[in-house]
Amino acid sequence: MVLYGLKTCDTCRKALKSLAEARFVDVRGDGVPTDVLKRAHAQFGAALLNTRSTTWRGLNETERARPPLDLLADHPTLMKRPLIENGDQLMLGWGADVQAALGVV
């Protein structure tokens, strides 16, 4: 299991604490592999972009209009977090639905 997130993100830290066996990848330093990002975008669409983030608010309209995968490649902190890869399955966020699917109560 791989958890993609930010080491400074409280939600990512909570998820990692509950998923001690997960390998953590800091998207700011290491990024997200292109194939994983493409799969995540195909599955989650617009929900993959965190449009409430500080990074998003700092972008101008021209930047915001770019294709989502290009934006995420240039600004990995725009990704909603955490993105969890569990085998072939991808999960986004750390809501009750994701916790239940992973057997975390």
* Strand ranges across the sheet with 2-5: 23-26, 2-5, 83-86, 89-92
Strands (E), 48-105: 83-86, 89-92
Q: Are 78 and 50 in contact (CB under 8 A)?
A: yes
Write down the catalytic residue from 2, 3, 9, 71. Answer: 9
User: Known catalytic residue: 12?
Assistant: no
Residues tagged active-site:
9
